[in-house]
Amino acid sequence: MSAPLENDILLRALAREPVPYTPIWLMRQAGRYLPEYTATRARAGSFLALAKTSALAAEVTLQPLERFPLDAAILFSDILTVPDAMGLGLYFADGEGPRFERPVRDEAAVRALTPPDPAGSLRYVLDAVREIRRALSGRVPLIGFSGSPYTLACYMVEGGGSEDFATLKRMLYSRPDLLHRILEVNAASVATYLNAQIEAGAQVVMIFDTWGGNLSAAGYIEFSLAYSRCVIAQLTRENDGRRVPVILFTKGGGQWLEAMADSGCDALGLDWSTDPAAARKRVGARVALQGNLDPLALFAPPERVRGEARRVLDAFGAAPGHVFNLGHGISQHTPVESVAALVDEVRAYSRKLRAG
């Protein structure tokens, strides 16, 4: 039996219930802009060792909560744990992004893919979830996450990050059958993985579709959204007697919000290119909205950060169903005092806004 949740404002906002202030958490809030994160990572030896050592992953997950009164913790992990558990050999070259030793590029490699058993090769993630829940002791809810089936496929086929994902696109346009097969395996894997996180204690889950925005409108529906929808349909939607909300975030997906809102998710993540008022008008009251300050606005002096925070809050308005966040992960060189100013302003100004 878990400790009762002291701060459930995130869950209430995601359920579009009235709340006294707008909850806030930040994508990549446990990250390199925090000196204590850098220290723990140095102890771990590498990013991957940090992500794979449950005790250290739990430690960094909690660090931002010690500094800022955030309304949620988000599991510290990598977006590519699932294909790594499939045996693709995830590694990080010095100062570069993620790469796979064995990218999935031909028919044989595609046929060989099978969904990993979370209790086996992903056990370190579930251990971290359990450890974080214990350490949180009901302070705030814990958000679990996964990359979307399409975003995982982007890395799996390309072998790493890319400006244009030309290898992936070549498969998409030349052999869509192969890509669909990868996406089926990914969707089954992600659903099982997220359910295991929920069973281990995740109270919210988020699907990060970082690269869905590189598709055409029709391609997005066919290759990304269809598989995120399939994941969402398979998820356990209750934990400790409360609904487990699902947040779907497609970076660059601002043109497709109506379709995304019909995916079965509870909330949409918005990047900073989307006008909040226009988004609300387009999706109506079907889903909550999360976002969407430009992460680089945090490079301004604190007083300007506060001004930008108020602009975002005003644009979303006082209607129920807004979770404050950045429009993308926080940047490495973000000044810590800007984050403090942001969290403080969102709390204070949204109280006034919601009190009318």
Q: Is 175 a catalytic residue?
A: no
Which residue among 33, 37, 41, 347 is the active-site one? 41
Whole-angstrom distance, CA of residue 200 vs CA of residue 143: 12
Stretch that binds a second copy, among 18-26, 178-186, 233-241, 269-277 (CB under 8 A): 269-277
Q: Is 32 a catalytic residue?
A: yes
Whole-angstrom distance, CA of residue 91 vs CA of residue 113: 19
87 touching a second copy, by CB under 8 A: no
Whole-angstrom distance, CA of residue 57 vs CA of residue 122: 13
Q: Is 139 a catalytic residue?
A: no
* Nearest alpha-carbon partner for 168 in 230, 103, 84: 103
Shortest Å distance, C-beta 202 to a second copy: 29
DSSP-H helix ranges across 84-225: 107-112, 118-121, 123-136, 149-158, 166-174, 176-200, 217-219
Choose, by CB under 8 A, the member of 297, 309, 330, 341 that binds a second copy.
Answer: 297
Matching residue, tokens 């995120």: 228
336 touching a second copy, by CB under 8 A: no
Which residue among 16, 28, 306, 347 is the active-site one? 28
119 touching a second copy, by CB under 8 A: no
Shortest Å distance, C-beta 276 to a second copy: 8
209 close to 251: Cβ distance less than 8 angstroms: yes
Matching residue, tokens 């889950």: 205
Choose, by CB under 8 A, the member of 43, 111, 134, 170 that binds a second copy.
Answer: 170
Backbone angles phi, psi at 142, to 5 degrees: -105, 130
Shortest Å distance, C-beta 294 to a second copy: 5
Choose, by CB under 8 A, the member of 199, 304, 310, 353 that binds a second copy.
Answer: 304
Residue 222 or residue 266: which is nearer to a second copy going by CB?
A: 222
Which residues from 127-166 bind a second copy, rule CB under 8 A?
Answer: 164, 166
Q: Is 41 a catalytic residue?
A: yes
Phi-psi region of 284 (alpha: psi -120 to 50; beta: other; left: phi over 0): left
Residue 239: cis peptide before it, omega within 30 degrees of 0: no
Matching residue, tokens 């950060």: 305
* Nearest alpha-carbon partner for 135 in 24, 3, 281: 3
Choose, by CB under 8 A, the member of 254, 265, 306, 345 that binds a second copy.
Answer: 254
Residue 87 or residue 252: which is nearer to a second copy going by CB?
A: 252
What are the catalytic residues? 28, 32, 41, 78, 155
Residues making contact with a second copy (CB under 8 A): 164, 166, 169-170, 173-174, 213, 215-220, 252, 254-255, 272-275, 278, 292, 294, 296-297, 299-301, 304, 308, 311, 315, 327, 331, 333
